Amino acid sequence: MKNKHRRRLKPIPFLILVLVLTIFGFLIYKGVSKKSPTLKKEQQNNIINKLSKLDYKKDEIEDLQDELSDENINFLVSKEIKRDDFIDIYNDKYYIDQYMTKYIEYKSKHNDYSSREIVERVNTHADEAFYTNTEASNEKLDKFVIANKHYYLSSSYTAPDLTEFDPLYSLYGATYKNELSEEAMSHFIELFNQAISEGYGIKINSAYRSYQTQNKLYNNYVSSDGVKLADTYSARPGYSEHQTGYAFDVRNVPNTKDDFEDSKEFDWMQENAHKYGFFLRFPKGKEEITGYQYESWHYRYCGIECATYIHDTKITFEEYYEYFIRYHNPRNIK
């Protein structure tokens, strides 16, 4: 009986196998790569057609596709947001793409507001009730750190270079200990000396306050005036500008007035404070944004570039912070 041997195939050399797999993978890749641009182009054309039906112009559609996130483009299309309900908001120079849906929602509830008002309120979180949906402030921002009725500081926060300053610059001399950020104080000394040389006297009335100090102060105001009224002129603990170490109140000297606005020093500060990095923190007419009554005596340090921009454009620090600090100057305004 003959032995039957099954014929064994010779193994495919390893290099040939690699070559076959490489060619096969390349063919698959080519097939996919040929389809992808076509699919993408079809999607783009679909979006363009839908935006056109919503009355957006050709050049506007091109701008939207360049500047808006894919998510927000899809939102405009899926929710059928017409041109008249969005384009003026988009064209506002302080438009922030991350807040697009909030703008549109706020406009639907406040159709009588201008696009400028809508963007301003949403950017500064004034579209929500004060002290609701609050966020922890970024405490590593130094002179750009923010504390208001939306952003709060921890009870342990103090300015990184907090320093006790010379009683010469304090309204009360050595009677009370006064502290301020070293950077802010060095610029205030320059301001102080220049004001003196021009015949003006300006001293600090109140500077840094700890969380604990603000807590006592605020509770005293609540005891005497109630929460609603106290909230118009005093910050809750953790939400106070004074805790940043970059804010302070001033008075004119030697004839101190109860209302700083009635002094010649106030006029001088309006013209010169920004040259040293300071700005009026709670301006008149911005109460709905800042959440506080107008305070002619309360100044904040943020550096010369920042303070000059705020002085020249008349925006609040709230809006400056959102646009230039939190979202890093998205449209590159100079």
Q: Which residues does the annotation mark as catalytic?
A: 295
CA distance 130 to 146: 15
Query: Any idea of the CA torsion for 316, 318, 323, 326, to the nearest 10 degrees?
Result: 150
Task: Of 296, 266, 131, give the one whose Cα is nearest residue 201.
Answer: 266
Query: Any idea of the CA torsion for 157, 162, 168, 169, to the nearest 10 degrees?
Result: -60
| 205 three-state secondary structure | strand
How far from the centroid of its chain's Cα atoms is residue 331's Cα? Answer: 14
Q: Report, in angstroms and rounded to the nearest whole number, the Rg of the chain calculated over CA atoms.
A: 30
Beta strands in the chain (DSSP E): 135-136, 151-152, 162-164, 179-181, 202-206, 247-252, 278-282, 295-301
* Secondary structure element (H or E) that encloses residue 20, with its range: helix 14-53
